[in-house]
């Protein structure tokens, strides 16, 4: 199994998953010791906010851990068979471990979670 983490700086879990272009990919086939196996640094047109094509480099992961995502993003990834997990943990490896253990740290109140709606023009 593989888990992707949104990380625009490759150091911390970041939000705005729909606009994310950088992802850390972890292999969790050995749950007690997940390991980073890949880093994706995609062009802007490959962010899910811009992408409307077929195959995407994130396809094939089982879950995506992020600091925030909108309902549309969650639905789009769900159609690809990818579970979206919103967490309040900033350390990517710890966030993956929390996901494996089913103890995902919630986003603190007042932090930017996508419970609101933007006026997007498409």
Please check whether residue 121 lies inside any domain of the structure. Answer: no
CATH number of the domain residue 71 falls in: 3.30.420.130
Please check whether residue 8 lies inside any domain of the structure. Answer: yes
- Cβ-Cβ contacts under 8 Å for 17 (sequence gap 6 or more): 6, 48, 64, 66, 67, 68, 69, 70, 73, 84
Global confidence as pTM: 0.87
**Which pLDDT value is given to residue 57?**
95
Nearest-angstrom CA–CA distance, 119 and 91 = 31
Q: How many domains does the chain have?
A: 1
Please check whether residue 106 lies inside any domain of the structure. Answer: no
For residue 118, pLDDT beyond 50: no
Nearest-angstrom CA–CA distance, 34 and 24 = 12
- Cβ-Cβ contacts under 8 Å for 32 (sequence gap 6 or more): none
Please check whether residue 120 lies inside any domain of the structure. Answer: no
Residue 89's domain comprises: 2-48+56-101
pLDDT by residue (tens digit) across 9-55?
999 999 999 999 999 999 999 989 999 999 999 999 999 989 987 89
Please check whether residue 12 lies inside any domain of the structure. Answer: yes
**Per-residue confidence at 85, pLDDT binned at 50, 70, 90?**
very high
For residue 115, pLDDT beyond 90: no
């Amino acid at each position: 199994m593989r888990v992707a983490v949104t990380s625009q700086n490759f150091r911390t879990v970041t939000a705005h998953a729909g606009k994310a272009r950088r992802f850390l990919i972890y292999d969790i086939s050995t749950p007690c010791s997940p390991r980073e196996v890949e880093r994706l640094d995609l062009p802007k047109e490959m962010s899910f906010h811009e992408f409307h094509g077929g195959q995407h480099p994130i396809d094939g992961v089982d879950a995506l851990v992020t600091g925030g995502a909108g309902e549309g993003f969650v639905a789009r990834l769900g159609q690809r068979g990818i579970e979206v997990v919103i967490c309040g943990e900033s350390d990517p490896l710890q966030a993956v471990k929390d996901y494996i253990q089913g103890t995902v740290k919630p986003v603190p109140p007042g932090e930017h979670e996508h419970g609101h709606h933007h006026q997007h023009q498409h």
